[in-house]
Amino acid sequence: MGIFKRVKDVFLAETNELIDKCEKPLHMVNQYMREFGVELEKGQRALARQLFIEKRQAALIANAETAAEKRERQARLAVSRGEDQIAKLALQEKLLEERKLAVYREQYGAIQEQTKVLEERIAQLQAQSEEYQHRRLLLESRVNVASSLKELNQRAVAFRTDGIVRGFARAEERVLLIEAELEAMNRFSAPAKRSAPQYLDPTLTAEIESSLAALKQPLAAEPLPAAE
C-alpha cells in the first residue's frame, strides 16, 4: 500500500514548498494518480476473476444437486421394479453426490465472503480515487494561484528601482504642467474677464483715485430731486 501513502503525502504538502521543488507538483501528482489507477485496475481484474470462480462454484453445486436428484429417481424406480441391488448402487451414488454437494456449498460460502471483502476494497479504492481527483483539482487551483502571485511579486520587485520612480515622478509633473497650462488658458480666454479684472494694480492707485474723483464731480453739482 506504499503508493497510497505517497499520494497522501503529496496532497498534504504545502503548495509553496512544492513550487520550490525541482519537479513540478502537478506532474508528480499526475504520476501518482496513474499509479493509483493501475492499482485500481488490478483490483478490478481480481474482482472479475473472483466473480468467475463464484459462478463456477455455483455451477458445481447445481450439477451436484441435479446428479443427486437423478440418483434418487433411479433408486425409486429400481425399488418399484424389485431391483434392490440397482437401487443400492443408485443410493450410493446419491450419497456421494450429496457429500460433494456439502463440500461445494461450504466452499461457495467461503468464496462469497472473499468476494464481499474484495468488493468492499474495490469500493474503497474507487472512493479514494474520486477523493484524490477532487483534491488534485484543488491542488491545481492552489498551484495556479500561488504561481501567479509569485510571478506578480517578482514583477513588482523588478519595478522597484530608482529609475522607474523618477520616471513616474517626471510623468506626473508633466501632467500637472499640462493641467496648469489648460487652466491658465481657460482663465484668461473670456472677454469679460479681460475687461473686468478682479484685482487693482498698486502702481495705478493715484491715477485711479483721480479719475474716480473726476467722475464724481458732475454728479455732486447736480441738484438733488425734490421730495414729493
Q: Is residue 95 part of a domain?
A: yes
The angle at the Cα of 96, spanning 92 to 99, to the nearest 5 degrees, equals 140
Tell me, yes or no, whether 23 lies in a domain: yes
User: pLDDT at position 17, please?
Assistant: 55
Cell numbers at 157, concatenated: 520587485
Confidence at residue 218, expressed as pLDDT on a 0 to 100 scale: 66
CA–CA–CA angle 54, 55, 56 (5° rounding): 90
What is the distance of C-alpha 5 from the center of its chain?
A: 22
pLDDT per residue over 17-53, tens digit each? 544 554 577 778 788 888 888 888 888 899 999 999 9
Q: Residue 65: what pLDDT?
A: 94
CB neighbourhood size of 114 (10 A): 13
Residue 19 lies in a domain: yes
The pLDDT confidence band at residue 96, using thresholds 50, 70 and 90, is very high
What are phi and psi for residue 219, nearest 5 degrees? -70, -35
| Residue 166, in any domain of the structure | no
Report the range of poorest mean pLDDT among 83-92, 127-136, 182-191: 182-191
CA distance 96 to 93: 5
Provide the pLDDT confidence category of residue 191 given band limits of 50, 70 and 90: low
- Measured CA to CA, the distance from residue 34 to residue 27 in angstroms comes to 11
Helices 2-12, 25-80: axis angle to 10 degrees equals: 140
Whether residue 123 is contained in a domain is answered as: yes
Domain hosting 73: range is 2-161
208 belongs to a structural domain: no
- Would you state the torsion angle of the CA atoms of residues 29, 35, 37, 38, taken in this order, to the nearest 10 degrees? 170
pLDDT band at 171 (very low <50, low <70, confident <90, very high): confident
What's the confidence (pLDDT) of residue 193? 47
- Spatial CA neighbour of 53 closest among 104, 98, 102, 97: 104
One-letter amino acid identity for 119? E
pLDDT of 15 higher than 70: no
DSSP string of the chain, one letter each residue: -HHHHHHHHHHHS-HHHHHTSSS-HHHHHHHHHHHHHHHHHHHHHHHHHHHHHHHHHHHHHHHHHHHHHHHHHHHHHHHHTT-HHHHHHHHHHHHHHHHHHHHHHHHHHHHHHHHHHHHHHHHHHHHHHHHHHHHHHHHHHHHHHHHHHHHHHHHHHHH--HHHHHHHHHHHHHHHHHHHHHHHHHHHHSHHHHHS-SS--GGGHHHHHHHHHHHHHHHHHSPPPPP-
- Structural domains counted in the chain: 1
Would you say residue 210 lies in a domain? no
pLDDT single digits (tens) 66-81: 999 999 999 999 888 8
Measuring CA to CA, which residue among 103, 117, 128 is closest to residue 47? Answer: 117
pLDDT at 185: 76
User: Would 195 be classed as within a structural domain?
Assistant: no
